[in-house]
Amino acid sequence: MVLALQEQLAVLEKEMAELRSAMATLEKDNAELRFRLGGDGGAPPDWVKPNRKERRQAERAARKKRPQSFCRKRLIPTEVVVHAMETCPDCGRKLSNGWVHDRRQVVDLPDNPVRVRDHVRIGGWCGVCRKRYVPKLDLSGEVLGKCSLGVRLMSVIAAMSLVCRMPYRTIQKMLGLLYGLKISVGEIVEVLHKLSEHGEAAYEGLLEEIRGSPVVNADETGWREDGVNGYIWSFSTSNVRYFLYDHSRGSCVVKEVLSEEFEGVLVTDFYGAYNVYDGVKQRCWVHLLRDLKELATKYAGDKNVRRWVNAVKRVYYRAKKVADSNCSQRQRVRWRQVFEEQLLELARPYITDANAPQRVLSKRIDNFLGEMFTFVDTPGVPSENNAAELAVRPAVIARKVSGGTRSSKGSTTKMRLMSLFQTWTLQHINPIDACKALLTARN
């Protein structure tokens, strides 16, 4: 038993010695790490993020001085409250030689509830003519027909729906909270339908502007009507937005909208439905650059793919510089030919190579080569389709919230009001005032 205990004690002493050695190694590593992190006067490594306070100080030091402050500017006051002391608080003598010491402006919303006006007509009897007379009531500047809601309230409801993208029940709650107005969801829907009917002529006018524009951006996105898949088509210029709903995603919609009147440049992505237009086209480089990035990410280990992607990008960036320069028209035409030749030279080796990762994009370049550099020799034509992409974004957000429309009438109303309100916003016009003017002009 004694021998066994002695052997066990020797084993424990050996393990203890190993643990002490390991502890000494850990203490050494710990001291070295503390030094690297700056705890003992050393500088932290590059991968350590600096403290927020230090980072803010560095940002303030590098920040450029602004030429002017961007605090809230004073508004035109609707009411002026004067605070003046008439007598001295110590001796009671009347104060004189007053001056404006300072001003403090308070911006708030009024507490008044919704304004309800009763128009009462009082009839009268003429004893000579032996007739009854009742005054005529002209409310053309306040309401539409026999509707009880005023044109400004209808415009606000439409702005909440189209500009602020509020659901109907949210509009209902906001009107109740702000103005104490109780209105049903059905009445809100009916207001939008009436606005759509009165805006039909203005909506058709936007289509004529699209057809007469020198440059039009087009795009489409999905939209459901009563649970059935369809598409919203967007046609945009620098100051006009036009939307159309159709169950088809085919070229027939492009023919119907543009018709034979449009003779400008059509800027689109690479979707085949736009090929039906026989005029000048510009394909979106942003879509191509996005696909190039995905290709480079997917084949990150292939140096040949990365070199090819960078070469295509360099051609585009050089073309952008030429488009933004002050070159003559003759030089622009020549540069466009050069860029097309360079791009085709990059794509040609991979068009027929079924195993090449660049094959799909090379075939796209070959198919649309004549529509890739229109922006070089045609001033005013963008190299991307951002205008159309931005135009359909509110519709995409509305689709996520509502899921679409429930009827053909609802789709028509949505397209008309989206077109009008986005056009007014694009033209820096107050949409509420523009909608009110539209309603009173037709009434």
pTM: 0.77
Q: What share of the chain is helix, strand, coil (3-state, %, to 5)?
A: 50, 10, 40
pLDDT digits (tens, 9 = 90+) for 198-208: 999 999 999 99
pLDDT class of 262 with cuts at 50, 70, 90? very high
How many other CB atoms are there within 10 angstroms of residue 234's CB atom?
Answer: 26
**The predicted structure's pLDDT at residue 255:** 94
pLDDT at residue 427 greater than cutoff 90: yes
pLDDT class of 173 with cuts at 50, 70, 90? very high
Pull the structure tokens for residue 348: 């040609």
Q: Cα(first)–Cα(last) distance of the chain, in Å?
A: 114
What contacts 135, CB < 8 A, 6 or more positions away?
A: 121, 122
**The predicted structure's pLDDT at residue 28:** 85
**The predicted structure's pLDDT at residue 38:** 58
Q: 306 has which bridge partners?
A: none
**The predicted structure's pLDDT at residue 142:** 86
pLDDT class of 3 with cuts at 50, 70, 90? confident
pLDDT at residue 393 greater than cutoff 80: yes
CA-CA distance, 231 to 404, in Å (whole number)?
Answer: 10
How confident is the model over 258-268, as a mean pLDDT? Answer: 94
Helix 168-179 and helix 151-162: axis angle, to 10°? 130
pLDDT class of 61 with cuts at 50, 70, 90? low
**The predicted structure's pLDDT at residue 32:** 77
Among the residue ranges 42-51, 54-63, 140-149, 159-168, the one predicted with the least confidence is: 42-51
Residue type, 150: G
Higher pLDDT, 3 or 343: 343
pLDDT class of 249 with cuts at 50, 70, 90? very high
SS3 46: coil
**The predicted structure's pLDDT at residue 51:** 65
Q: Angle at Cα 384 formed by Cα 290 and Cα 278, nearest 5°? A: 115
Residue type, 206: L
CA-CA distance, 303 to 279, in Å (whole number)?
Answer: 39
CB 202 within 8 A of CB 438: yes
CA-CA distance, 396 to 390, in Å (whole number)?
Answer: 10
Residue type, 299: Y
pLDDT at residue 266 greater than cutoff 80: yes
CB 147 within 8 A of CB 194: yes
Pull the structure tokens for residue 385: 């389709």
**The predicted structure's pLDDT at residue 143:** 87
% of the chain exceeding 70 in pLDDT? 92
Helix 408-426 and helix 151-162: axis angle, to 10°? 90
pLDDT digits (tens, 9 = 90+) for 277-307: 999 999 999 999 999 999 999 998 899 999 9
